[in-house]
Amino acid sequence: MRSRAFLTGLAAALAAALAVPAATGQTQQELPPELQPQRFDQLRQIDPEMLRQLELNRDQLLRLQETLAQEGTVEDQLERDARGRELRRIDWQRTREDLAVQLQRQSRAGTLTTAPSPLETAPPAMPRNVQADELVRPRLPLLLPETLDAYTHADMSERGMLVFPRDQFYSATYHHDGMMFEVSGSRIVAAEISDPRAIRLWQALRGEDGLTLTRTETGLSASFTRYGAAYDIQVHCVDPDADPRCRDPETIRNVARRLVIAGGSPDGAYLDPEGPR
């Protein structure tokens, strides 16, 4: 295990290399319950396996940053996949800029490799069904939430989440306190809405934060666009009407606020033996 001094030095070096002017006009928000200081007590004893995975993920993001710096912005040309489906153009320049800010923040915080403070945030939950290098496969920014309380199954026996990366889309699921969350992203262009009334209704549903919230049979759904791709967050409950959290927009907004870049790349990676999808 690397020493705390080494990790501190690494965080300082990354912060200097990725220095970006701080945003102004922002107000500090109260931390969500799962990020309150008392929730970090369980991390006072460092898990060697988690530390190793965190370092691998950090290296992966640094390599992604280098790739994006070389790629620059995308060309203004229509792109289609192997099946002829039209694909959204991804703003990799903005992705690169946001990733630099994210890495700077995570480096300052030490990404929870030391005893945390109330100002630190949690890392993205560890994927348990794929290797870290498979997260570069999607040709869109792969967004996952920063959270400590994510479990692969409802019995909460294993920490982490399940991630399913494909070439032009991905999905991820995790469980927390009786609820299942699903995060997905895609750059495949869906059928456009042409009915003016439907367009006005859709626009009316969109909040100031850019989220379009809809009520579902099992809970709530929030859709939004970022970097040119379409994303969706869903919360599922066995009996959503019996649990107020499942119908509370703040539940799903808390997930949206914690989304960070955890993978994706302009060129992708064909790791599936069945070929591109």
What is the pTM (predicted TM-score) of this model? 0.67
- Strands 179-186, 142-145: pairing is unpaired
**What is the model's pLDDT at position 220?**
95
96-110, pLDDT tens digit by residue? 999 999 988 888 766
> Which residues are 214's β-sheet partners?
221
**What is the model's pLDDT at position 79?**
86
44-88, pLDDT tens digit by residue? 445 556 556 656 666 666 666 666 665 544 444 578 888 888 999
The residue ranking higher by pLDDT, 150 or 113, is 150
- Strands 79-80, 169-176: pairing is unpaired
CB 109, CB 122: distance < 8 Å:
no
Say which residue the tokens 């690494």 belong to. 10
pLDDT at 216 over 70: yes
Question: Which tokens in the block code for residue 183?
Answer: 């995060």
Average pLDDT of every residue of the chain: 74
> Which residues are 146's β-sheet partners?
124
5-40, pLDDT tens digit by residue? 443 444 444 344 334 444 444 444 454 554 444 444
Q: Kindly compute the dihedral angle of the four CA atoms of residues 192, 194, 199, 202, in this order, to the nearest 10 degrees.
A: -40
> Residue 191 in 3-state DSSP?
coil
**What is the model's pLDDT at position 171?**
98
**What is the model's pLDDT at position 147?**
87
Backbone angles phi, psi at 54, to 5 degrees: -60, -40
**What is the model's pLDDT at position 188?**
93
CB 188, CB 168: distance < 8 Å:
yes
pLDDT at 274 over 70: no
d(CA 16, CA 155): 42
Per DSSP, helices labelled H in 36-169 are 48-71, 92-109
For residue 79, what are the contacts with CB-CB under 8 A and spacing of at least 6?
86, 87, 89
In angstroms, the Cα distances linking 36 to 26, 44, 173, 250 are 20, 14, 23, 16
> Residue 234 in 3-state DSSP?
strand
